[in-house]
Structure 1
């Protein structure tokens, strides 16, 4: 694993300050994340690891403004996400973030090309379909452009999802167990592709993963347990 690297002053793309996430449970409020303080440096790759239920995906959702912090502050690209409403957050994500989920979340009635072009069209890009075609070529799926998701394998669908997430050239890529629904061979191919696309676009990558070999490819590893960040030596052990 690459030695842990820490953000330098003024170099943070994303900052969480004492962030708390509390959700309503059957028996009352449940605190999912406790006083999370973390900086993500521009251009780095960061893995979030820990046992199931430790808060990894919830932390990723906070970073993307897909969940609102109950307390604390989250700043991305100089903008305070905790001060934004849902519409403003959606616009911010569309302009600056690419999100890749475990379950693909492709629109089933749209072709691969239409799925990739959709965020570009929402941004008002006049060349949305030309750019979408180029992104499908970059993930090796130009020949699948006119196919619906149901006509593609799981690995192909995740590659379309990658193309869709990266087509708008986001500054930040958030990936939540992107290989979780794939077999080992397809999972390895998708991860190779994700890292190569990240390198090509120069984006920052934050990834939730249970796979030590994937965490070890990142510049830095953050371990969570019971909604709290663990000491750095715990993260080192989790990535090995």
Structure 2
């Protein structure tokens, strides 16, 4: 399976079909037992854990269905921390800009427990986008949200993709989200139905 630079791709299929597992393999978050995963010219399957962590930090943004925010940190600190770890001198400024971009300029000093689910997912999106990643991976990013918040997150994801020129690969059950992508690939029982299948 090939994904073009700058493309938006939806991985679709029934629960248990292997969508999230494929996404985790593509992000080097799980290791393939055979074959190879090439991202931006690098073979992820040949890297050790430290090398994979560095590669993700420098090239990928990941958004999960569960927000995975650090509860003892404010929204601003949650977004800035990966930037600081990567050595960006302007970490706080970039974190503020991303939170403004997702409509949370007024919530920067709030902790996750003080925010709604939709707001927490916006923080997670800002954190994923702040490093300006070449690849943005999203695993059911609207799965824990109601319809209105889900629609807002869909718009934000595509806005972030357009603003940073990222390649977007997302797992989704939402037809309206999949239809916004350039292409859809359907999985069933751990298999892609047909190479480069479009839906």
When normalised by structure 2's length, the TM-score is 0.98
The CA deviation string for residues 151-194 of structure 1, in whole angstroms up to 9 with x for no partner, is 00000000000000000000000000000000000000011011
| Aligned counterpart for 2:78 among listed residues 91, 94, 115 | 115
RMSD: 1.1
Please list, as runs of the form range in 1=range in 2, the aligned pairs for 1:140-151 lying within 5 A after superposition. Answer: 140-151=103-114
Of 28, 53, 60, 1:65 maps to 28
For residues 17-69 of structure 1, the C-alpha deviation after alignment (integer angstroms, 9 at most, x for no partner) is: xxxxxxxxxxxxxxxxxxxxx11100000000000000000000000000000
Question: Which residue of the other structure, out of 38, 56, 60, is the alignment partner of 1:97?
Answer: 60
1:156 aligns with 2:119: yes
Hey, what's the Cα distance between the residues in 1 that align with 2:94 and 2:86? Answer: 13
Flag the structure with higher strand content: 1
Identify the structure with the greater helix proportion.
Answer: 2
> Per-residue CA shift, 1:56-113, capped at 9, x if unaligned?
0000000000000000011111111000001110010000000000001000000000
Runs of 4+ in 1 over 2 A off after TM superposition: 231-235
Specify the alignment match of 1:47 in structure 2.
10
- Change over 3 Å in CA distance of 1:111–1:195 after alignment to 2: same
Q: More relative contact order in 1 or in 2 (CA 8 Å, sep 6+)?
A: 2
Q: Which runs of 5+ in 2 are unaligned?
A: none
1:197 aligns with: 160
Gaps of 5+ in 1: 1-37
- How far apart in 1 are the matches of 2:176 and 2:101? 24
Deviations 1:102-149 (A, max 9, x none): 001000000000000011001101110011001111111011000000
2:11 and 2:187 in contact (8 A); partners too? yes
**Residue of structure 1 aligned with 2:19, choices 56, 65, 88:** 56
Write the distance in 1 (CA, Å) between the matches of 2:45 and 2:124.
27
The structure with the largest alpha-carbon Rg is 1
